[in-house]
Amino acid sequence: MPRIFVATLGTETNTFASFPTGLGQFRNYVWSEDGIARVAPSHTSAPARHWVRRAQEAGWEVVEGLHARARPSGIVTRGAYEFMRDRILAQLAAAGPVDAVVLNLHGAMVAEGYDDCEADLVTRIRGIAGPRACIAAMLDPHAHIDHVLVGAADIIVILKTYPHVDYVERAEEVFGLVERTLAGEARPVTALFDCRSMGIFPLTRAGPMPGFMQALRAAEGRDGILSLSLNHGFPWADVPQAGAKMLAIADGDMALAERAAREFGLRFYDSRAEAALPFTPFEAAIAEARAGGDRPLLLADVADQTGSGAPGDTTHILRALIAAGIRRAAIAVFFDPLAVGICHDAGVGARFTMRIGGKYEPHSGPCLDAEAEVVFLGRDARQSQHTGGDSVLLGDVAVVRVEGIEILMSNRRIGVFVPELFLDHGITIADKQVLVLKNLYKHTDVFAPLVRRQLYVAAPGTSNPDWHELPFRRIPRPIWPLDPDPLGRDAAAAGARP
Ligand SMILES: [Zn+2]
């Protein structure tokens, strides 16, 4: 019977964020040295949970290593990364010979001294597990991948949804490939094609991406292609491995893998401009908010989304709404533990001059001092996940009303998954002129029926989506859109036109 080793390690590192990610941020989010069963069900624990269950059902022997995840944040401290890495390596070494190592990674962890933690980890795992072990990793599409990781792993599968909802489906894809490899029924070889592009590429927007993903799925399992994955890349990281990449796994045929990676990679490249999420300049977004409409306008405060490592406490949009005279508005989620604590002391109904936001890090920018009324308080509040499953901890919350605008604050850095987040905390949606979410894209589909339009706003902040404004120094060049046509395809296409 096969023996497999299962572990989880990941975060999404925003190298522009000012605050480091220490061990505490892993211990406070997902942490178990005692099996994934001890971790609350969520999308971050779902893959390992699935693998352990499937392996046990198949009668395999399962050894579990560390399971650790942190919310997106700044660069991981060297001590934290090395501690977790060495823990996993020691657990693997102690396990003795294994047939497979199956890892739930994110793929965008950057630590002090390590641009690509996953490549470092998997290379060292290969050194312990040996050349014959099957090493498989599951990644988020907002990852950094180069030949080092591809060379160290046998199987890499990336989520095929964005918003991400296919954690279990992809975990099963990984398990199936491992199962076939161990049985001698498949011999996975992987090719990587560099699409030389960066941006945010949602898969549920009208445009080329739904069709692209459909074609990609249709090509899997046929003519020797085992698996196809598009890595979108995580653009708020200044690392040499950055950028969109196409990954193809073929059955024993490297030339076939290379052809497939190139074919799909070029197809993505040719549609990159249409596929990329458009961002709305800050002033234009506020002008549209002022215009009003029959249903709320949804503004995604992209630059301050905690989901990509921003603090979640900037006041730029809040201040602009007040200045524009907009009163029927709601904002979530403001990360402000100090303000939440003060509100809990004061109680519902209290009115006082309050300092809101602008506290956590230099990108937090100016705070807002304003007359506030506490309208709702909650302890250990929870939020449903857009992926289903158990709710996740939101923390202690307070809703304050400032100039008519309702602000949902929490003592945990977290984004908005579902509209119920507002309703559960006494904030109505239908009567609002504007809703502001400190999110990027994950809310888009679930909020679509409730709002008249959604804009992705380029306000100031850590995760500013104006790529030309970010102080990149180490990403590979040329890369689109900083360079117009890195693969030289646009000129050829234009020349081919009659
Ligand atoms: Zn992602």
Burial class (CB in 10 A: 0-12, 13-18, 19+), 449: exposed
Instruction: Give me ligand 1 centre to Cα 111, in Å.
Output: 18
- At 496 the pLDDT is 61
Which residues make up the environment of ion ligand 1, defined by Cβ < 5 Å?
A: 140, 142
Instruction: Give me ligand 1 centre to Cα 153, in Å.
Output: 21
Instruction: Give me ligand 1 centre to Cα 212, in Å.
Output: 18
Instruction: Give me ligand 1 centre to Cα 140, in Å.
Output: 5
Beta-sheet pairing, 405-410 with 329-335: parallel
Q: Which residue pairs from 281-289 have beta carbons closer than 8 angstroms and sit at least 24 positions apart in sequence?
A: 281/458, 282/316, 282/317, 282/320, 282/457, 282/458, 282/459, 282/460, 285/317, 285/455, 285/457, 285/459, 286/317, 286/320, 286/321, 286/324, 288/453, 288/455, 289/321, 289/324, 289/326, 289/329, 289/433, 289/434
- At 41 the pLDDT is 87
Instruction: Give me ligand 1 centre to Cα 70, in Å.
Output: 13
Q: Give how far the C-alpha of residue 478 lies from the chain's centroid of Cα atoms, to the nearest Å.
A: 25
Convert the pLDDT of each residue in 29-86 to its tens digit.
999 999 999 998 888 999 999 999 999 999 999 999 999 999 999 999 999 999 999 9
- Per-residue pLDDT at 19 exceeds 60: yes
Amino acid letter for position 495: G
pTM: 0.94
217-236 in b/e burial notation, b at 16+ Cβ within 10 A?
A: eebbeeeebbbbbbbbbbbb
Instruction: Give me ligand 1 centre to Cα 231, in Å.
Output: 10
Instruction: Give me ligand 1 centre to Cα 333, in Å.
Output: 19
Q: At what angle do helices 489-496 and 254-270 cross, to 10 degrees?
A: 70
Instruction: Give me ligand 1 centre to Cα 183, in Å.
Output: 32
Convert the pLDDT of each residue in 119-165 to its tens digit.
999 999 999 999 999 999 999 999 999 999 999 999 999 999 999 99
The dihedral over CA atoms of 308, 309, 312, 317, expressed in degrees to the nearest 10, equals: -60
**Of the candidates 245, 238, 19, the residue with the CA atom closest to the CA atom of residue 110:** 238
Instruction: Give me ligand 1 centre to Cα 62, in Å.
Output: 28
DSSP annotation of 297? E
**Of the candidates 118, 107, 108, 134, the residue with the CA atom closest to the CA atom of residue 85:** 118
Instruction: Give me ligand 1 centre to Cα 71, in Å.
Output: 12
pLDDT band, very low/low/confident/very high, at 495 (cuts 50, 70, 90): low
DSSP secondary structure letters along 425-454: TT--STT-SEEEES-SSTTHHHHGGG-SEE
- Per-residue pLDDT at 497 exceeds 60: no
CA distances to 342, 463, 494 from 368, rounded to whole Å, are 15, 20, 51
- Read off φ and ψ for residue 286, nearest 5 degrees: -65, -35
Instruction: Give me ligand 1 centre to Cα 287, in Å.
Output: 30
- At 490 the pLDDT is 86
- At 195 the pLDDT is 98
Rounded Cα distance between 40 and 412, Å, is: 17
Instruction: Give me ligand 1 centre to Cα 346, in Å.
Output: 38
